[in-house]
Amino acid sequence: MSVRPSVPVPSSRKRLRAALHGSAIGLVAALALSACDPAGDTASQTPASATDLASIRAGEPQEGGAPATLRLVTTDQYVHTLSYVFGPSLDLSVSFPPLQREKGLLANSAATAGVTASQLEQFQRAAAGVAAQVVDPSRRHFIFPCEPKAEDAADAECASAFISKVGRLLYRRPLTEGELQAWIAAAGESADKLKDFYSGIAVALEGMLISPDVLFIAETAEPDPEHPGQERLDSYSLASRLSYFLWNASPDDELLQAAEGGKLQTLEGLAAEVDRMLASPRLEDGMRAFFDDMFAFAEFDSLAKDPEIYPFFTGVTLADAREQTLRTVIDHLITRNQDYRDLYTTRETFISPTLAALYKLPAKPGWTPYEFPEDSQRLGLLTQISFLAGHSHPGRSSPTARGKALREILLCQPVPAPPPNVDFSAVENPDASYPTQRDRVAVHLKNPSCAGCHKITDPMGLALENFDGAGRFRTSENGTLIDTSGSLDGIKFDSPAGLAVALHDNPALPSCLVQRLYSYGLGAPASGDDFELLDYFDARFQAIGYKLPGILRTIVLSEAFSRVEEPKAPQQTAQAD
């Protein structure tokens, strides 16, 4: 069986829930019943909250928005949510199905992710493990708001207190009376059968954790009273969209309270909650998840290097390279609230003992701050191991792969796939007449079917040829001095430092980040109708000095962030294009 939710989500929550239960709840219920068988804040820097609220949306285009979506939560979102609800001490070794990258982000495909029966069974096993830990005697007294009258029998009152409290956080809204009574009944029946109140609660909790209402983020639209004829997200859907975007987890108690009180539907109330969320240390979780997605670090899970050529390059090396970049990003953009573009020219970073060997630095225990000297060719994210090794071949560097990654990941400029009949023999030829990568890739420029794409990738990638396929610095290849000259959109340079400066100054760099942030926040790719809105965000980003917290605040406080726009019919889309 395959469960593939349709999008956009119906405006009516009743119709949505009926669709969900019609497709998946039968299996969920069966799994839950089978369990009855005993055999079976360090505050981040944020923009000044005193900003005149009346000017926040000034100049915002009236176009923009996205359909309400139904999307599968990620592994990290599930784990972060359970850590908040039950505490960080739980062992949350779960892994959800991988997503497919769509228009630069894995998050863009969450709304079309299918769930098979076998995958749902994996979720059930994870839920059973979590439920068992929650009711364990070592934890139950810290988690439960009450004690049962007797531990060997059902207690509807105590079960109600626990399920209503936990259910509100897991479902991201208060449980309906019908849902509450159904879960209380399930807990009671299991408690009577198993002669254990807490075992009954574990069965009910396991069922809740594999409910479609928990595994899927279901957004619901409602009429917008301030704009007749338009729709907006309802308060609980807006709370979820905010929280999964900024924190990579479900809403906390305070955010749900704001939703319950209608505060999120006023600009003043929304701004107060957004400023609180931006000042929370949990913002780091959200932005780590975003940049991990944007930089395509999930592909590291299948990345490998030739052990004969790079025997020192291991899985630990890859993990540390990924962590180095994320630490650099978070420190630069959130802890110190610096210009986003400077990430590509900064010499400040963090080093682990494993990475120290590749960077040829003295090893110190743990992660330590480090600043490369002014005469070093190491500056910015392009010269970190994560980019250099992540976009190279198993046994050698790749100017084309590095240039393609720079275009697609950092500038949002898709590079066409190579034609199916490309002859790679010249590039792979170890003949001494092609001593360097520059000589090898130059062969492609002689082929008209290849030259078009290689002209927009190779000139940047060749500027990074001072670094081999593992990211180690070198000055020559096969005894030949490496030429690192190149160009980016008409800007010429002769070194990695020159490339870093050219990238820093390229207007597509901050614009690409804005586009990715907006798509990530909505859970869907930006459409062709959003170009005016994205231009508006670009201008605001520039005006605030390219600061990440500032553009996050601009995006989530915009009307477009909560506006629900139904997708155009294919004929309308074709006419617009």
The pLDDT assigned to 447 comes to 64
Distance (Å, rounded) from C-alpha 321 to C-alpha 349? 11
Give the model confidence (pLDDT) of 91-146 as tens digits: 887 777 778 888 889 888 877 666 777 778 888 888 999 999 999 999 998 999 99
The yes-or-no verdict on residue 360 having pLDDT over 90 is yes
Specify the residue for token string 């034609």.
Answer: 419
The yes-or-no verdict on residue 45 having pLDDT over 70 is no
Lookup: tokens for 169: 């956080």
Distance (Å, rounded) from C-alpha 179 to C-alpha 198? 19
Mean pLDDT of 289-315: 94
This prediction's pTM: 0.87
The pLDDT assigned to 21 comes to 42
User: How do the residues of the chain divide into helix, strand and coil, expressed in percent and rounded to 5?
Assistant: 55, 5, 40
Mean pLDDT of 43-50: 42
Residue 547 β-bridge partners: 339
Distance (Å, rounded) from C-alpha 304 to C-alpha 338? 34
How many CB atoms sit inside 10 A of residue 228's CB? 7
Mean pLDDT of 469-490: 94
- Domain positions in the chain are 2-34+70-218, 289-505
Distance (Å, rounded) from C-alpha 483 to C-alpha 436? 9
DSSP alpha helix (H) spans, 280-346: 283-294, 315-330
Give the model confidence (pLDDT) of 385-414 as tens digits: 999 999 999 999 999 999 999 999 999 999
Give the model confidence (pLDDT) of 158-198 as tens digits: 999 999 999 999 999 999 999 999 999 999 999 999 999 99
CA separation (Å) from 194 to 126, 201, 209?
21, 11, 20
What 3-state DSSP class applies to 30? Answer: helix
**Over the chain, what is the mean pLDDT?**
86
Tell me which residue of 438, 440, 487, 490 sits closest to 465, measured CA to CA.
438
> ∠ CA 102-511-9 to the nearest 5 degrees?
40
Tell me which residue of 75, 174, 169, 83 sits closest to 133, measured CA to CA.
83
